[in-house]
Amino acid sequence: MTPTDVFAPAKINLTLHITGQRDDGYHLLDSLVVFAPVGDVLRLVPAAELSLSLEGPEAAGLPADGDNLALRAAAMVGDGQGAAIALEKLLPVASGIGGGSADAAATARAMLAAAGALDEGGLARAGTALLALGADVPMCLASRPVRVRGIGERLEPVNLPPLPAVLVNPRVPVSTPRIFRSLTARDNPPMPEPLPEFPDAEVLIAWLKDMRNDMEPAASALEPMIGVVLGELAALPGCRLARMSGSGATCFGLFATMADAGAAAAALRVARPDWWIAEGLLGDQQARAMPRLG
């Protein structure tokens, strides 16, 4: 293995419909997922054994031991390879945008690449195994726009126009299981099948307005700051849609242009200097090999 830098992009649920619950308690989803140009950065250097060091503004409080998902992913797919992994944590933890799952998936990609196994078969085996680390890991392995069903293991690539966006986290960590437990409805309608064509961002945003994040009401009730974020995003000039990602607390605002998104992010940084705020085009990744899970 040569030293490798890998990017672990934030995942954003443009929609998140909760359509049922399995006998084991896991919830069935129907979600349109894209990735952002902001994320964590990992450097893997050849070493005799696996190890992990943490740095970056969001690293505080994160385990660097065997509980860390990046380390667990490396052990699961690494086939005995050692690596010194340096994780630069730039995404807020427990925030609905992938975080640990994104780190696990990026580490797995790097380990597979080092083993010459970053192909459809390698990704498929890794995705199936790594689902045990978190339901978001397979979609993060894909790291391109996908429709996600099942509990997170059924992935279909989708073609979406890139969306100018502002991401905001008010720095309140949210427990995903707690939000799932407090849902009052678990059998909500899925998205249409098939999805319509989205020729441009305007058409996509208009369609997204009729879709939902079914975790948003429960999360806002448990963590009122989420409602504050959504209100402030929606009030920014040019914001076309404000919604929560995952189980929160990160929310996104969609804009017609990157100039509008940049101006909105700059204004919000002045008003809310303590919040984590990022802007960029969502869903702008080049097509990548898809992990087809068995």
Report d(CA 140, CA 135) in Å as an integer: 10
- Asked whether residue 164 is marked as a ligand-binding residue, the answer is no
Whichever of 106 and 268 has its CB closer to ligand C5P, that residue is 106
- Asked whether residue 93 is marked as a ligand-binding residue, the answer is yes
Which residues contact residue 70 at a Cβ distance below 8 angstroms, ignoring those fewer than 6 apart? Answer: 42, 52, 85, 87, 100, 103, 104, 106, 107
DSSP string, 199-258: -SHHHHHHHHTTS-BTTHHHHHHH-THHHHHHHHHHTSTTEEEEEE-TTSS-EEEEESSH
Q: Within a 10 A sphere around the Cβ of 26, how many other Cβ atoms?
A: 14
Q: Would you state the structure tokens that stand for residue 221, as one six-digit string?
A: 């009730």
Identified binder of ligand C5P from the candidate list 26, 84, 212, 258, rule CB under 6 A = 26
| Footprint of ligand C5P on 227-286 (CB under 6 A) | none
Of 25-33, 37-45, 54-62, 85-93, the window that binds ligand C5P (rule: CB under 6 A) is 25-33
Whichever of 43 and 154 has its CB closer to ligand C5P, that residue is 154
Whichever of 72 and 243 has its CB closer to ligand C5P, that residue is 72
| Footprint of ligand C5P on 117-176 (CB under 6 A) | 134-136, 151-152, 176
Report d(CA 260, CA 240) in Å as an integer: 11
Reply yes or no on whether 65 is catalytic. no
- Asked whether residue 95 is marked as a ligand-binding residue, the answer is yes
Q: How far is CA 47 from CA 80, 85, 105, 232, in A?
A: 11, 9, 20, 47
Reply yes or no on whether 89 is catalytic. no
Identified binder of ligand C5P from the candidate list 6, 12, 29, 52, rule CB under 6 A = 29
Whichever of 149 and 240 has its CB closer to ligand C5P, that residue is 149
The reply to whether 177 sits near ligand C5P by the rule CB under 6 A is yes
Residues that bind ligand C5P (CB under 6 A): 25-27, 29, 134-136, 151-152, 176-177, 180
Q: Supply the residues annotated as catalytic.
A: 11, 136
Q: Which residues are annotated as a binding site for ATP?
A: 92-102
